[in-house]
Structure 1
Amino acid sequence: MKLPLLLVFLWTLTTFSLQTDSPGQCVCEFRNSEQMFPHDKLRTAENEASDCNSRVSPWKTTELQGLMLGLDRRLVQLQEDVSVLEKEDDGDLYGVLSLNVIHNEMTEIRLLLDKLNTTTEEQHKQTAATTHRMEQVRAEMEQLETFDTQQVVKRQEANQRLRRDLDKCRNGLHAGPPPTEPPNGSCPYGEFLNISEPRVYTAGEYPGSYKYGAWGRDPKPEPGKESWHWLVLMTSSNRYSNYVRQYHSLSSLIVGQSVPGNVLISSSNPTTNTIQGPNVVLYGGSLYYNCYNQHAVCRFNLTSKTVTNVDLPQGTRYNSKGTSATWMSATRTPTWTWPQTSRASGWSTPPPRTLVIWFVKVEEGEPPKLNQTWHTSVFKQGVTNTFMACGVLYATRYVSKTRGDLLLV
């Protein structure tokens, strides 16, 4: 009964073992019929895919969109400037200066077109090169799949598809309305895509005379003044002013041809109800600014030459850090102001100087008044300036002499 078992055992040894000369020892030789997995090729394919992902990024598309948007805006502005020149050309110095401005604008448009063409050509070349490299990576991955003799990868892919299908079925059974997020802002233009370099470089009407001030255009102009621009210069101690200067167009502002000229708030500077600080704004034919030595917003009507004001809450700072503690902005809706305040909860002494946004309600024939208040956690001294666009507050932050950041508050 034991003989067949012994014969089978001896046969097994002779088939899979190699008997050595040393008694009691044997060496088994194992031959693997499978090929060795090429890990180096897999790492190369991973590096290629990672490099392709870094080359193709969303910001490159955003850069191209920003260039297109900038070109569109420049062409519209050029058309407006040419139209203004045709209407206001006096055949003298003003016409020559306006032509020079238009020539500079056309030069900038040509440079922008060159940059746009270069960027488009580079992206086309990069797209072709990336497509070729991805095809190579795909072929390499298909070759690597041949080493998966146990079909582990295929089973994992099948399991992932089943999980996705199962999740879709579960979500379909308990489907609800998709979550909605309120849009940022109150106008259809969306968020900022790109900020270009300055469009015009000029020394201004008074080169080297005044370091600080503000300029702009009324977002709700009076009839016939749609193209008018305004300028306020800090003419006393680099922080006070008592007049607003008006211009018929942007071109006249650039070349320094002020018509109809200055509108005086007071003959003295500074004095009660004059301008303190460069943060001013024109809205609806009235200038809004920080009243001299008051925590209040003054409204100066350029037509009636009258001043009305609205007091800001106690604790509002108005004369610190170069009298730039109160910022104001105006959009197509009424005026906003966001001074720094020392009133906040949950902080130790001294309290932080955070931004508080107030909505100044403006009605025809009525004095301005505060309507709504928003408290923010933005540290006032951490930002360099702010502005409001489409109901969204943006803040700028210093990074270096040649770079700054734009923050959405």
Structure 2
Amino acid sequence: MMLYIFVPLCALFTFSQQVTSAEKCVCELTNSEQAFPHDELSAVEDNASECNSEITARKTLELDSLLLGLDRRLPQLLEDVSMLEREDDQDLYGVLSLQVIENELKDIKQLMDKLNSTTMRDQHLTIGATKQLEEAKAEMQELEKYDTMQVVRRQEANMRLKRDLDQCKNGHNHIIQPTQPPRRNCPHGEFVNITGPRVYTAGEYPGSYKYGAWGRDPQPEVGKENWYWLVMMTASNRYSNYVRLYSSLSSIIVGVSVPGNVLIHSSNPTTNTIQGPNVVLFSGALYYNCYNQDAVCRFNLTSKTITTVKLPKGTRFNSKGNFCHLDECYPFTDLDLATDESGVWVIYTTTQDYGNLVLTKVEDDESPTLGQTWNTSVYKQGVTNTFMACGVLYATRYINKEMEEIFYSLDTVTGEEKFNLGIFLKKMSPNIYSLNYSPVDQMLHAYCDSFMVSYKVLFE
């Protein structure tokens, strides 16, 4: 053992012995190897850490999302233009088709602008990262000469050997399991069309409250199966502090409210009162955008208690992520609450999703929580409204003062997006400020410039 240690030391160091006196011996130790440059290694590590912080997987996902949206919109635009060329009758159809194409061109232009800015930013990052990598490679190659014992090379060889062994092992044992496409269980079948309107009424306050929402509770309490609810934006077309209840459809049509108002707060607006018209009632609780918050409020109509759940960081609120069409945006429609056979959903957008729609399941409880989330490739400001039916998200867009189109869907089971549904709603007023689907009777309830309108949803 002593000899094994002594031999490499002799290779590295030179000893000289000098006797200065009979009682004293002095040894000089000279290192024949260069000192390891720790400062240079630390600089390389710092550069690598900086590069990792600047280039992340999220930046790649942002670009992929924009490209996916563009890839799906361009074929649809080509198909719509071709159809217009084939079937233009110079009358109503031509006007509708041109309006659809104009909306699609606007969406594509917004996507292209974002794609160009994102591409330019990524190009600068790529140039800088390439230079950093080349410098780091050169510096690491320079540092390799200090590895006189070839420790690094042996480690690399061992890693290659381990990787080859793992590949060999997995190649013999891996069996591809057959996969089946996910299937949905919708009691009604596939949503194919809308008929109506079936109901058209100004209610108690004709022309008084432009923004609002109405509908039925999909999971009502016992004895309240036929009740309807109404929420009107009573302050600045933006805020409300109560929900109004009606014992039947005829009561809401003739404007007789029994049992009347359930008050959330005496002030309007204030903490946890309603902001924006996109509200829903489910299982005896009202879900809505909390006042001045990126959060969903749940108001229990029986206990009068309020609980909240915050949405992800970056969620747009306070009228920064509204529904829009070419002529205007609908203020404070950042959050859209929806119900269907399975419960409550919230539709919104975030800064990290570049304004595209985001769908999240809200787990219904006294203290609601957020469940699974789906990201879409449809731009929110190119949409006028959304609703849920049988686990599928549907989006509408403005065609003209008489017509709205359900043009988009996202299946939450398969993840499939469609941009060419072509289901049209005949409007009784130019703007639809809220849409609520009722799974109790398969009706779609719309609130339009203070009018309440309902349509029958047809399933295959």
Amino acid at match of 1:251: S
Distance 2:257 2:185 in 1: 34
Partners of 1:341 and 1:190 in 2: CA distance: 32
Deviation at 1:383, TM superposition (A): 0.8
d(CA) in 2 for partners of 1:360, 1:179: 29
Mapped contact 1:273–1:292 kept (Cα < 8 A): yes
Residue 375 of structure 2 corresponds to which residue in structure 1?
Answer: 375
Question: Is contact 2:280-2:288 (8 Å) kept?
Answer: yes
Shift of 1:356: 0.9
Number of the residue aligned with 1:408: 409
Q: What is the Cα deviation at residue 179 of structure 1?
A: 9.1
- 1:194-222, Cα deviation, whole Å (9 max, x unpaired): 21121122222101110110000000001
- How far apart are 1:372 and its partner, in Å? 1.1
Residue in 2 that maps onto 1:362: 364
Alignment-mate amino acid for residue 344 of structure 2: T
Deviation at 1:181, TM superposition (A): 4.5
CA displacement 1:315-373 (0-9 Å, x = unmatched): 111211400011111123221101121113xxxxxxx211111111123xx40001111
Looking at both structures, which has the greater relative contact order when contacts are Cα pairs under 8 Å and sequence separation is at least 6? 2
Q: Residue 327 in 1 paired to residue 336 in 2?
A: yes
Q: Is the 8 A contact 2:264 2:304 kept in 1?
A: yes
What displacement does 1:250 show? 1.0
Q: How many Å separate the matches in 1 of 2:258 and 2:201?
A: 19
Aligned to 1:187: 186
Partner of 2:310: 311
1:48 corresponding residue in structure 2: none
Q: How many residues align?
A: 224
Deviations 1:139-162 (A, max 9, x none): xxxxxxxxxxxxxxxxxxxxxxxx
**Structure 2 residue 268 is matched with structure 1 residue 266:** no
Trace 1:100-249 onto structure 2 (pairs within 5 A): 181-183=181-183, 185-249=184-248
What is residue 342 of structure 1 aligned with on the other side? 351
Q: Is the 8 A contact 1:280 1:290 kept in 2?
A: yes
Cα distance, 1:186 vs. partner?
3.8
Taking the aligned partners of 2:355 and 2:185, their CA distance within structure 1 comes to 28
- What amino acid does structure 1 have at the position aligned with 2:369? K
Give the alignment's Cα RMSD to 1 decimal.
1.9
Q: Is the 8 A contact 1:354 1:379 kept in 2?
A: yes
Which residue of the partner structure matches residue 114 of structure 1? none
Shift in Å, 1:251: 1.1
- Between the aligned partners of 1:338 and 1:213, the Cα distance in structure 2 is 17
With 397-406 and 213-222 compared, the bigger mean Cα shift is at 397-406
Aligned to 1:84: none
Q: Find the residue that maps to 1:207 and give its secondary structure.
A: coil
SS at match of 1:198: strand
TM-score by length of 1: 0.53
- My pick for the range that moved more, 282-291 or 202-211, is 202-211
Work out the CA distance in 1 between the residues paired with 2:185 and 2:357. 21
Please give the secondary structure, in 1, of the residue aligned with 2:278.
Answer: coil
Does the Cα contact within 8 Å between 2:341 and 2:389 map onto a contact in 1?
no
Give the Cα separation in 1 of the matches to 2:299 and 2:189.
Answer: 32
Q: Provide the secondary structure at the position in 1 that maps to 2:309.
A: strand
| Mapped partners of 1:360, 1:193: distance in 2 | 26
Greater Rg over alpha carbons, structure: 1
Q: Is the 8 A contact 2:387 2:395 kept in 1?
A: yes
Q: Percent identity?
A: 65
Report the counterpart of residue 384 of structure 2 in structure 1. Answer: 384
Return the alpha-carbon distance in structure 1 between the equivalents of residues 255 and 238 of structure 2.
22
Helix, strand or coil for the counterpart of 2:200? coil
Gaps of 5+ in 2: 1-86, 88-177, 323-330, 411-460
CA distance in 2, matches of 1:179, 1:312: 34
What CA deviation, in whole Å up to 9, does each residue of 1:62-118 have, x standing for no partner? xxxxxxxxxxxxxxxxxxxxxxxxxxxxxxxxxxxxxxxxxxxxxxxxxxxxxxxxx
Cα distance change, pair 197–259 in 1 and its aligned pair in 2 (3 A): same
Q: Given the two structures, how large is their TM-score scaled by the length of structure 2? A: 0.47
Superposition deviation, residue 401 in structure 1: 2.1
1:67 maps to: none
Report if aligned partners of 2:386, 2:393 keep a CA contact under 8 Å in 1: yes
**Quick check: 1:353 aligned with 2:355?**
yes
SS in 1 for 2:252: helix
Q: Which amino acid aligns with 2:203?
A: G
Q: Does the 8 Å contact 1:186/1:391 carry over to 2?
A: no
Alignment of 1:77-116 (within 5 A): none
Q: Is contact 1:280–1:289 with CA below 8 Å preserved after alignment? A: yes
3-state DSSP of counterpart to 1:343: helix
The residue number in structure 2 matching 1:292 is 291
Letter in 1 for 2:362: V
**For the Cα contact (< 8 Å) 1:276–1:292, is it kept in 2?**
yes
Unaligned ranges ≥5, structure 1: 1-53, 55-177, 345-351
Tell me the secondary structure at the aligned position of residue 223 of structure 1. coil
How far residue 190 of structure 1 moved from its aligned partner, in angstroms, is: 1.8
String of CA shifts for 1:37-83, please: whole Å, max 9, x gaps.
xxxxxxxxxxxxxxxxx9xxxxxxxxxxxxxxxxxxxxxxxxxxxxx
Q: Is the 8 A contact 2:383 2:396 kept in 1?
A: yes
Structure 1 residues 186 and 395: alpha-carbon distance in aligned structure 2, compared to 1, 3 A threshold: farther
| C-alpha deviation, 1:188, in angstroms | 2.3
Distance 1:257 1:333 in 2: 31
Name the SS of the counterpart of 1:317 in structure 2: coil
